Structure 1
């Protein structure tokens, strides 16, 4: 993570104490220059030495899939295994689910990119942001502001898309004198139906992701949730082919929703396939 323009390395430990599994914050160290696997390894090695610990005491490591962490030659995990060859490595459970959520077709990806451009057009300009808020107040909109999309926090996508769904009529009014391209998209019922589906499916995926986090969560309960998601996607795929979209609240009431049934069906099938790819052993 980054704080004040500097990269911060956060470490957490899990261990058994008096027959209980304890999760505890371990350290926060600044990476002053680069953030390579060697930098991470050196920083943690120095900290372990300072508190009288060694890599031999470490049973397993759980990381995300970044090259700096899992690179086969200079990745952090590879460097640790040179110190302790019996080290067990695993990939962060909900990070894998987040990677599944990133799997979308070019058609749907284009919609997401356009939404981000619309939001940035307003949010990145203070004057336009204030004018949009004023417009929402006058139109008595449910919300007065859009939410800014960021790539790092995975859960931001659904919130951004849902807010745009709720304010798309207000945005259409705002863009009438600003951006003709955006007006054409927001006035297109088929495009808006795709937007509605993205808001719905990311809401589902984000709820699963968020439910797998917290002190009381463990690999068994997370596994159950992933298996339930697999079953839902399979069930929904069959329902969608029959023309039933009731499981998606936004798209079910959207105009021209029937026209995107093939797109939804294909995306659900791809999600199911990606879940099997990232979670093959559960």
Structure 2
């Protein structure tokens, strides 16, 4: 392969053993893309950056990969991974410096960063009462049965409340949405049990709940866009930049009490004569804006490369790396290739560039294509992981085999 990138994800199995998953994405000179879960390493002792690096170095050796061909390393945000001195990033940097290699990119997994932005929000004042109420309703089999009977008697659109799963951000949005829509039935049920929650009649608390329903809806939509299997690094960056702009719009509109993009919150305010203090709501959007600005700073640093890669015909040649400028000018003057760029997918377009005419530009494009944005398609595919781990003899495979068959709302808070 001409260029390859690595992605690492560390988890702890049910026995407490650290399991390191190493993924490889490679691209050859014909722009044929190969992605695979290269290895699963069980780490029984410490999990320092050096420990992880040793496992990674062994995997690179097993696959006969060259450090010189490494374009990018995608990691989660843990300190043992991201540490610039003792973490994995620091260990890899030292190795590359020994080999006199530069320009290897380190980025955090896009979906990990998205989840961190979401979890950084201070929404415990809303989420904690919701979790307590759900656990009361579902924590007892009798309560749970009686609640479902009540929903049936009321002809409710929904037949149950889902559990909240802390490790899944999507779970938060689904739970808040369902809870809000069933809030009247929940209040009636709790009253029948002599279990009173003042939040359910508190307009300020309900306004926060309705707003978070809308916010988590926007976040879940973003999550789904980031999960696209064929997404390239430019697709991820475009999606993140668009969401940043949306957050700026949300903040501006909230400042003048314009709630067009928060349908649930808007309906709640209209039903209560718009006499709602929105300090909390504005604060949430400001928090999100801050996190999205800083969590994806690695991508901002290579923005000019991403712009060139995504649309070499409209980029400013002055902003292009010097060694690519002349080839970019030749490309921009080629109407046939410009038409090809419009008609084909981006990775396919670069296949049309002749090696003798655009050697540096094509090499640059292959390097960009090789970058991992996220390992979602593997981590989300239980069957893929089960098969791989089971065949590899890892006891982690049995854990995944069992976990993949649990209902998605089965975890208790």
Matches within 5 A, 1:60-79: 60-79=72-91
Moved more, 170-179 or 140-149: 170-179
Moved more, 251-260 or 199-208: 251-260
Instruction: Give the Cα separation in 1 of the matches to 2:133 and 2:179.
Output: 9
TM-score, normalization by structure 2: 0.61
Q: Are 1:117 and 2:129 counterparts?
A: no
* Residue in structure 2 matched with residue 29 of structure 1 by the alignment: 41
TM-score, normalization by structure 1: 0.86
Go from structure 1 to structure 2 and tell me whether the alpha carbon gap of 1:44 and 1:127 turns closer, same or farther (over 3 Å shift): farther
Q: Which of residues 288, 298, 305 is equivalent to 1:271?
A: 288
| Deviation of 1:277 (Å) | 2.0
Instruction: Give the Cα separation in 2 of the matches to 1:110 and 1:244.
Output: 24
| 1:188-232 deviation per Cα after TM superposition (whole angstroms, max 9, x unaligned) | 232111101001101101211221123211221222222222222
Q: Which of residues 24, 35, 44 is equivalent to 1:13?
A: 24
Go from structure 1 to structure 2 and tell me whether the alpha carbon gap of 1:45 and 1:111 turns closer, same or farther (over 3 Å shift): same
Go from structure 1 to structure 2 and tell me whether the alpha carbon gap of 1:131 and 1:109 turns closer, same or farther (over 3 Å shift): same
Go from structure 1 to structure 2 and tell me whether the alpha carbon gap of 1:63 and 1:137 turns closer, same or farther (over 3 Å shift): same
Higher relative contact order (CA 8 A, sep 6+): 2
The count of corresponding residues between Structure 1 and Structure 2 is 279
Which structure: larger Rg? 2
| Deviation of 1:3 (Å) | 4.7
Matches within 5 A, 1:222-237: 222-237=236-251
| 1:25-51 deviation per Cα after TM superposition (whole angstroms, max 9, x unaligned) | 222333345544344333333444444
Are the aligned partners of 1:119 and 1:146 in contact in 2 as well (CA < 8 Å)?
A: yes
Matches within 5 A, 1:33-44: 33-44=45-56
| Deviation of 1:113 (Å) | 1.9
Instruction: Give the Cα separation in 2 of the matches to 1:122 and 1:74.
Output: 47
Q: Which runs of 5+ in 2 are unaligned?
A: 1-10, 304-413
Question: 3-state DSSP class of the match of 2:294?
Answer: helix
Q: Which runs of 5+ in 1 are unaligned?
A: none
CA RMSD, Structure 1 to Structure 2 (Å): 2.6
* Residue in structure 1 matched with residue 258 of structure 2 by the alignment: 244
Are the aligned partners of 1:55 and 1:80 in contact in 2 as well (CA < 8 Å)?
A: no
